[in-house]
Structures are given as structure tokens and as C-alpha cells.
Amino acid sequence: MASSEIEIVSDSNDQKNSGQRPNEVVIIDVFGASAYGDFEKLRKYVEEDGVSLSQADGNGYYALQWACLNNFAAIAQYIIEHGGDVNDADNAKQTALHWAGVRGSIAAADVLLQSGARVEAADVNGYRAVHVAAQYGQTAFLYHIVAKYHADFDAPDNDGRSPLHWAAYKGFADTIRLLLFRDAHQGRQDKEGCTPLHWAALRGNVEACTVLVHAGTKQELVVKDNAGFTPIQIASDKGHRHVAYFLSNAWRAHSRSKRWEGVFIGKVGDIGFAPLLFCIFLCNLVLFINSILFAPNLRKITAAVGLWGWITVSLALGSMMMFYRCSSKDPGYINTSGELRDHPDVEDPLLNIDLNSSSIWTGNWSQLCPTCKIIRPVRSKHCSSCKRCVEQFDHHCPWISNCVGKRNKWDFFVFLCMGNLTTFLAFVVAVQRIWTVAPAVPSEETWMLFVVFQYPGIVAFLVMDTIMFIAAAVLMIAQASQIAQNITTNELANAVRYGYLRGPDGQFRNPYNYGCWKNCADFLINGYTDDNEIAWPPLQQIAR
């Protein structure tokens, strides 16, 4: 790319505001006037001095290239109208459209393409504008020329590398998301046998590897290049231990799921631990009734203890009902394009996607889901276990075999509260019941040993009840804290990755936090909070 010889100039808006060119650059020809956006001098050179705009400078660069590099669309239009050829190429066979791709000059690209520029023009390396955009991480530019001008986003260069290869090599995760969203071929191997995952592993780009692995078929993890190396081996050889660790774990998880699939009908991962937890609940409830409430070798139960005991049983049954609700309820799955296409009477927004007018688009490319092929709301996330995008994704809970999201988080929190209260009351009733056996304890034996050997059912119940109480209490406190802040578990764990969680100063700031009282009231009354109302505008909107 000729970018190393391209002079970096200040943004045109800064120049306009200051009224001065950076460092008081002296413009002596049409190339300088085009590069710095000096319309008056350009017109003087062309209309008064008769300078041609179809000639290159000493390095073989054209005035149109300089104008498009810096996104001076009006100057580009003027050059084209006064003799500039939109398809003129420099010594590296790069056109003005290639130069526009370096800085993502969308307005200038529109002028070029509407004036007849070839969107598939290739330079000496076989790079097209889509390759240049991927190399420089110009995701918006890439989307624009693909969506509006039908540029081939999967075209190989002379070495067999597609834009996805380049985006993976440079570590531009947003560009990778867009290309995968457009169904770019993730398993393509270049002339060296490398896939995009090989190149991402070579450079140690963790986020790029993460996006590729989650959107891929897992077969890319074991593809070997011409030298016989897999992406895992390349990452390890280059000293990128964090990448090698991530890729190794991804492959082991995939291998385990395959082994389990061969043992059981269906995937164990799809079933989760919900049946096991339900059995534990049921066993503990049976133990409580048989070994504590109706134990024949304990003293007769009093009315007060009996009342609290049956309240505990009622709460246990209610907890099991809430467990079933949050396990079976839709957590907030977002419809995929496939589901929409199955219904011809429903318009599929992906068939004619317009990010500029989408009601949920905020300029964050991480909203694109390469797997579901949808634009998801800001706080949503694709769950690799459920293989669906979940609105207001909190976390995937294997113990309920379901995600916790917008539509079932209220049920999940009520389940935790009821479970916590149930285990606490059961513990109190059980301790009260076994405390009544103290007078029957032989003098030569301690009360603890006597209870362990004489009432093993009660001891087993107390052990399981204590474990469940601690687990439920920790989860309930964590969820209550997050509800009070109106933030999800996923957002807390990945706050660095989400731009909307940063204020203008770059520090963490939650735009959905309206204060403890309103956050809790909205959640308890509605079951969820409204993402359309935010306390302050996110960083992307301020930047605009």
C-alpha cells in the first residue's frame, strides 16, 4: 500500500474551524491544494493558470487521489468535472478509490463511484478497495461500498487473502463482525494454507480470535497451513500464550461436547444441570418432611414449629414452580433472519438492511451478530450455549439450563429470594427439632456425635441445605446489587469492551443507571428496565 508515502494532514473540519492550514503549509500546485482542501487555490491553478488535473505528480500520484484521501468530496467532484479520470492509477495501480479506503472517505467514494469508478479495480498486489478498507479497519466505508455498490467483500488478492484475512491479521474485530455478518468465507485458505484464524493467532489478536471462534464451525481450530501448523500451534510458537490458551479451551470444549453427544441422545450441554438441581430440591424436600417434620424418633412437633415447617414446605413448592418458570421461559430471544424468512408475510429487515435508519442501531458494530445475522439491541449478546441472541443478556446459568435475560430475570430473582428464604427457614426448623433431643443424649457421648449417628437423615439435610443457602444468598446479593445499579453480569464482566459504558472522560459510567430507587422500582414493577430511556447520552452520540 502506498500509504507510507501519503502525507497525513489534519481533519478538514479542524482546518475550517481554525482558518489556517497546519504548520502554515505553502501550497504551490494542484496536488497541495487538493490534499489540503484549498478550493480557491485549486480553481486559480485550473481556471487561470490552465493546469491540467489529468496529470500525475513526480511520484505518480494524482490530485484526485489526494482529495479522496482526505475526504474532500466537493474538490473531488470539481476535479472530475475538469478533466480528472476517476480510474487513473498510480505506479502501484491504485486508484482514488483505494486512497479513499485508507481513511474511510465515504463522501469522496460516493463521488467516485457515481462518476463511474470501478469498485473492483485491483492494484499490483490484487488489493481492491475492500481489501484496503479491511487493512485499515474502515468498517463503515467497507459496509457502504458493499451495501450500496455491491463490492465483492470476499474477493481474494494475488496471495489468496480475502478482506477477512486482512481484518483478522490487523485485529479489527468490528470489520470481522461485518464480514462474517455478510457471510464471508471463514474457512478460506490463502496460498500459504492459512485461514483468517491463523493470521489472527499469528498476531495474538485475542478479540479477533474470539469473534472468529464463536462464529465459526470449530473446524478452523484444527486446519493446518502448508507448514503443518494449526492456529493453536502458531499462537503458542509466537509466544501468545493467552491466545493459545483460549483456542485450546475452545477446542477442548468442542471435543467434550462431541464425546458427550456420542454417549447420550442429544447434547448434555443443551440439557444442562436443571434436572440435577430439581432432583436435589426434591430429595431435600422429602428429607425435610420425613426426617424432620414426621420423624418418629423425635419429640412430637409443636403447633408453632409445625406451622413454620409447613410454611417452609409451601415456600419450597413455590421455589420449584419459579425454578420451572425461569428454566422454561423465553429469556428474551431475538428473532433471527431464518425465522423471519420462514414467514413470507413478515418483512425481513436483513434483506434490505439500512444501518443509517435502523431504530436500534447506535453506531456500535458489535451489535452485528455474525451467527444470527441480526442487528441486536445494545445490551444484547449472543449466547454460545443457547446459540441465540438474548436481549438484556445477563448470563447463561447452567443450573437452570437457560439464559437469564430481559424476560425471565424477574422470575430468576424471585426464585433466588424464595430459595434463600426456604433454605433459611428449613435450617432453623431442623436445628430446633434436633435441639429437643439434647436431654436424651447419654452422658458419655457428645450431642454432636449422638445426632450424627442417631439422625443421619437430619445431618444429610442440613449439609445440603447449608450449601444451597450459601449459593442462593451469594447469587441473590449479586443480582440485587446489579438490579440497584441497572447493570447486567455480562456488562460488569466485560465493561472494557463496551463503549456505551464509558463517559466522555473515558471512565466507566453506566448510561442506564437512574439511581437505586428508580432502578429497583422499574425492575420490580415491570420485570425489566426500558433501554430506550437513558440517563445520559453514550460516547458515540457525544462524538457526533
Q: Is 185 left (phi over 0), alpha (psi -120 to 50) or beta?
A: beta
Task: Identify residue 210 by its one-letter amino acid code.
Answer: T
DSSP symbol at 48: I
Rounded to whole angstroms, the Cα distance separating 428 from 393 reads 36
Rounded to whole angstroms, the Cα distance separating 290 from 178 reads 60
3-state secondary structure of 172: coil
Contacts for 1 with CB less than 8 Å, ≥ 6 apart: 92, 94, 98, 102, 127, 132, 135
Rounded to whole angstroms, the Cα distance separating 544 from 542 reads 5
In the structure grid, which three cell numbers stand for residue 62, read together? 494524482
DSSP symbol at 88: -
Q: Find out whether 383 and 332 touch, Cβ atoms under 8 Å.
A: no
> Distance from first CA to last CA of the chain, Å, rounded?
30
3-state secondary structure of 202: helix
- List C-alpha distances in Å: 30 to 53, 111, 149, 354, 382: 8, 19, 29, 37, 51
- With CA atoms as reference, report the closest residue to 232 among 187, 195, 259: 195
Known active-site residue 397: yes
- With CA atoms as reference, report the closest residue to 440 among 453, 421, 425: 453
- With CA atoms as reference, report the closest residue to 507 among 477, 484, 536: 536
458 forms beta bridges with: none
Contacts for 144 with CB less than 8 Å, ≥ 6 apart: 106, 109
Q: Find out whether 169 and 202 touch, Cβ atoms under 8 Å.
A: yes
Element (DSSP H or E) covering residue 388: strand 388-390
Hunting for cell 437457560 — which residue is that?
402
Residue 370, phi then psi, degrees to nearest 5: -65, -25
Residue 165, phi then psi, degrees to nearest 5: -60, -50
Element (DSSP H or E) covering residue 510: none
Crossing angle of helices 73-81 and 106-114, rounded to 10°: 20
Candidates 326, 397, 403, 520; catalytic one: 397
Count the Cβ atoms, other than its own, within 10 Å of residue 63.
Answer: 33
Active site residues: 397
